[in-house]
Structure 1
C-alpha cells in the first residue's frame, strides 16, 4: 500500500503536525509513505522522516496547472493508492481524483469552525465530497456535520495524537522560571488570543511576576496587529512575548508552568495533547473535543469560550496552588499516554485504508 499525505503548508499548526506525524508513523507500516506540501514549506519540513518521500509543489494559485500536473505525474509514477488530504487541500486532491478515478481520496477534517465559512466555500466542499472515498474527522461533532452536509457514506472519527522531539533545544523563553504561561496556537481569529490577553491582563494585576508566551505561526495581518496593539496599549511589552513558529516544542513546554488554550472553536487540538505529554497543568475553553481530553477537574480546567473573567480565575487557581498543578499535570499526562497514542491511532488508520483496498 502506498499513501500520500497532502497538506497546504508545513507551518507548525495542528493539521500540519498531524500530516507529518501520519507520514512518519506510516513509513515502517506500509509499502511506501509520501508527503506533499502544496503551497508553502515551513518548520515542520525538518521533522519529516528520511524514509518518507517528500514533494513540494510551490502552488501559486487555485488552478496552477503546472503544480497540478506535477502532482498528477508524481502520483502516477509512484503508483500511489491513496491520497489522504488534510483540511483545505481537498480541492487539489479532488482535481487529481477526477484525473485519476482509480485512486482513493480520503479527506481529513480538522477545522472546528467549518460551519462559519462562506456559502461559496461550503458549496465547493460539498461538490468535492462527491469524489471522496471517505472522511476522517477529529471528533464526533465534525463527523455528524460531515454526514449531514456532505455527500459521502463512510465517515470515521480518529483522535489526534502528539509527537514531541525532545532533542531540539533552541528557544529560550523570557520571564521568571516556573512563572510562565504558554499558549501553543497559530495566531488566527478562531484561537481567540484577544480573550486570552484580556484574561492575562487581570492575572498580571494580581501576579505581576508571571508572563505569557505565544508560540505559533503568524502573518502580518489585521489580527496580528490587533494583538500587538493590545499589548502596547495595556503596557504588557515586558509580560507578553510572541515567538512565531518554533521547532523545539518540548523544550519550550519544559520551560513553562501552565498550558492554556482560549479558542472559540476547535476539533481536537494537538497542542492540548502536547501539554499533557509534557506534564503541564492545562486551562482550556470547552470547545470541540477538549472535554474528551479534560473529562474532569482532576485532569485540568475547562472554561466557557469568550469569557476572559472565567479564564483569568482558572489561571489564578493554578498560579496559587503548586501542589494542585503537579497533581493535575500527572493525571493529564497519564490520560494522554493511555488514550491518545500513536499505536492505537495507526491501527485504526490502517484499517480504514485497508477497507478501501478490498
Structure 2
C-alpha cells in the first residue's frame, strides 16, 4: 500500500496529532507513507519520523490551483493509491479526486462537538461524500451520524491512539507545590468548558489552597480566552490557576502533575485522555463523546456528567485525600490504554478495513 495523510496544519490539536501518528505508524508497515500539510506548519513537525515522506503546500486560498497541482504531481510521482484526509482537509482531497480521478480518498472525521451533531452543517459533506471510499469516525456517534445523515455505508469507528513524543526537550516548569498539581490538557476552546474548571478551582481555593490547576493548550487570544483570564483575576485565583499555552513536552508536564482532569461539554475521543493513561495519571473527566469507552467510573477514573460542578469537585477531593486510589486508578487506566488503544491494535484494524475498499 502507498498511503498519504493530509491535514491542514501541524498545530498541537487532536486531529493533527493523529495525522502524524498514522503517518509514522504506517511508515513501519507499508511501502510508502506520506504526510501533506496544506496550510500551516507547526510544533508537531518535529514529531514526523524520518521514514515519512513530507510535503508542505502553503495553500493560501480555498481553491488554490498551485497547491492543488503540486499535490497532484506529488501523488503521481510517488504512485500513491489512497489519500487519508483528516478533518477539514476533506475538501482538498475532494479537489484532488476531481483532477486525479483514479485516486481513492477516505475521510477521518475528528469532529469535536459530537454532543451537538444536530447543529452540524451538512450541505458540503453531502455533496462530497459520494467521492469518499470510506469514512473513519473517532467515536460511535460520528459513525452513526455518517451512516444516517450522509447515507454512507462504509464507515468505521477507529479510536485514536497515543504515541511517545520524540525529539522533545523537557523545558516547562510548572508553578505550585510538588505533589499538589492538577493538570488539564485542552486548547482554550468553548467545547472544553474551562468554566467548569474555574468553578471547581474556586471551591478548591477554599478547601485545599495548596492544590493548583495547570491549563496547557493553545490560547487563541479570543473572547473565550479573555473570559477565562478575567475570571482568574475576578476570583483572585492568580496563585491557583496557571495558563501555559501550547507546549510540546507533555511527558515532562505530566510527570510534574498528580491528578489530570478534562471538563469538556463535548468531545470525540480526546487525545488528552489517552496521554493521561499512558503516563498513569488518575483522572476526573466528563462523560462526553467516546470517553466512557475508556474510563469506567470508579474503576480506572471518575466519570462525571457534563456541568456537574459539585460532583466533579468532590471527585477531585476524593483523589486528593486518597493516594492509594490515585495509584490504582493510574495503573488501571494505563492497562486500559495500552491494551485497547495501542498503535499496533488500531493500525491493524485500519489496514484490515482498507483491504475491503
TM surpasses 0.5: yes
> TM-score, normalising length from structure 2?
0.96
The 1-side partners of 2:120 and 2:209 are apart by: 47
Higher mean C-alpha deviation, range 87-96 or range 304-313: 304-313
Superposition map of 1:162-201 within 5 A: 162-165=162-165, 168-201=169-202
Tell me if structure 2 keeps the 8 A contact 1:135–1:155: yes
Residue 134, structure 1, aligned to residue 134, structure 2: yes
SS at match of 1:142: helix
Could you state the TM-score of these two structures normalised by the residue count of structure 1? 0.95
Cα pair 1:261 1:284 within 8 Å, conserved: yes
Q: Once superposed, what is the RMSD of the aligned Cα atoms?
A: 1.6
- 8 Å CA contact 2:115, 2:266 repeated in 1: no
Moved more, 16-25 or 143-152: 143-152
Question: What is the alpha-carbon distance in structure 1 between the residues aligned to residue 120 and residue 271 of structure 2?
Answer: 29
Cα deviation code 1:243-265 (max 9, x no counterpart): 11111111111110011011111
Deviations 1:293-319 (A, max 9, x none): 012311000111122222212111111
- Gaps in structure 1 of 5+ consecutive residues: none
Query: Number of aligned pairs?
Result: 356
Given that 2:115 and 2:267 are in contact with CA atoms closer than 8 Å, whether structure 1 keeps it comes out as: no
Structure 1 position 220, deviation (Å): 1.2
1:263 corresponds to: 264
Equivalent residue number for residue 47 of structure 1 = 47
Question: Which whole-Å deviations, capped at 9, do the CAs of 1:259-307 have from their partners, x for residues lacking one?
Answer: 1011111111111011011010001000011111012311000111122
Residues in 2 aligned to 1:126 and 1:168: alpha-carbon distance in whole angstroms = 44
- Is this contact kept in 2: 1:12–1:245, CA < 8 A? yes
Residue 107 of structure 1: aligned partner = 107
- What does 1:1-358 correspond to in 2, within 5 Å? 1-113=1-113, 116=116, 121-165=121-165, 168-356=169-357
Could you say what secondary structure the match of 1:102 adopts? coil
1:141 alignment partner, SS class = helix
The offset of 1:121, in angstroms, is 3.2
Alpha-carbon distance in 2 for matches of 1:59, 1:115: 31
5+ residue gaps, structure 2, are none
1:116 Cα deviation from its structure 2 partner: 4.1
Contact 1:203–1:315 (8 Å) recurs in 2: no
Conserved? CA contact 1:112–1:142, under 8 Å:
no
Give deviations 1:176-226, integer Å, cap 9, x for gaps.
111111111111111111111111211121111111111111211111111
Shift in Å at residue 96 of structure 1?
0.8
For residues 261 and 27 of structure 1, what CA distance do their matches in structure 2 show?
A: 32
